[in-house]
Amino acid sequence: MNTAHLTVEHDGLTFDVEESGPARGPWVVLLHGFPVNSRCYDDVVPRVHEAGLRTLRIDQRGYSPGARPEEVDAYRLDTLVGDVIGILNHLNISYSMVVGHDWGGIVAWHLAAKHPDRFTGLVAVSTGHPSAMRDALAAGGDQRERSAYIKDFIADGAEERLSARDGVLLRRAGVTGEELAPILEPGALTGPLNWYRANFTGDVAATLACPPVEIPTTMVWSDGDAALGREQAEFSGRYVYSDFRFSELHGVDHWIPENAAAALASEISLRSSRF
């Protein structure tokens, strides 16, 4: 197994990336969500390598110390999607699978929908297709209540509230102190919160609008997820015009990469298979 820790220059920023696994294995791009960096996949990566796959982990905009622009508009969804394509171009990776959890899942849906020639398959973890989220909100279930926390994330002073007492609010939500350490450094939480401020204000529907996906897709959702409900996950199949698999994990909370690494690695391996 080979592991290389690299820095990639893109859009005037410096991104920290890690490539590892069998030298000739098919690529899998792993995208993290809020508020953790790509270390959330620590227990997934070795299992994926055992399946013969090679992984690329990206600490995304706002998480890489060299990629923390101050302007809120620098975190618009199209820009976040462009970061991944730019990094893949820099590394001469023409084809890969894409896996995304939480915010990384939203980016992954857009990558798969808008760049189908670059990706062989998608594994979306927890976050459903943006149109499925719209449907879930309109269905009158509990998704609107589940999403109520977003207003606190975009509010002024969110950094102070979320970092207070060593990030106690985020730790209560299931994030470990070790995972929080990088964003509790001075000024480090603003970039991650700007993902919300840039994309959940104004015309949110237009900002998040995503075409249907036409590559093979797996949706992994856990029944213990407090933020993202079943409807937005199941409804995602309406917007996949290819093979679609819905995988429900029982007794697992929102943090699937950390708390159900073996199950997630299995789904990634299954999606990578040609048969």
Q: Using an 8 Å Cβ cutoff, are 215 and 120 in contact?
A: yes
CA dist 57 and 49 (Å) reads: 13
Domain ranges of the chain: 2-272
Which helix (H) or strand (E) is 208 found in, with range? Answer: helix 204-208
What residue type is 6 in one-letter code? Answer: L
Beta-carbon contacts of residue 266 (< 8 Å; ≥ 6 apart): 47
Question: Among positive and negative, which fits the CA dihedral 20, 30, 178, 164?
Answer: positive
Beta-carbon contacts of residue 38 (< 8 Å; ≥ 6 apart): 18, 30, 31, 32, 57, 58, 59, 60, 63
Supply angle C-alpha 28, 15, 68, rounded to 5: 130
Task: Write b or e for each residue in 232-255: b if 16 or more Cβ atoms lie within 10 A of its Cβ, otherwise e.
Answer: bbbbbeebbeeebebbebeebbbb
Q: Nearest 5°: phi and psi at 191?
A: -55, -55
Q: What is the pTM of this model?
A: 0.97
**Number of residues assigned to the chain:** 275
Per residue in 62-108, pLDDT tens?
999 999 999 999 999 999 999 999 999 999 999 999 999 999 999 99
Q: Nearest 5°: phi and psi at 195?
A: -55, -45
Burial class (CB in 10 A: 0-12, 13-18, 19+), 256: buried
**What is residue 275's predicted lDDT score, i.e. its pLDDT?**
46
Domain at 2-272, CATH homologous superfamily: Alpha/Beta hydrolase fold, catalytic domain (3.40.50.1820)
**What is residue 177's predicted lDDT score, i.e. its pLDDT?**
94
Q: Using an 8 Å Cβ cutoff, are 99 and 272 in contact?
A: no
pLDDT beneath 70: ranges in the chain: 1, 274-275
**What is residue 222's predicted lDDT score, i.e. its pLDDT?**
98
Three-state DSSP at 16 gives strand
**What is residue 2's predicted lDDT score, i.e. its pLDDT?**
85
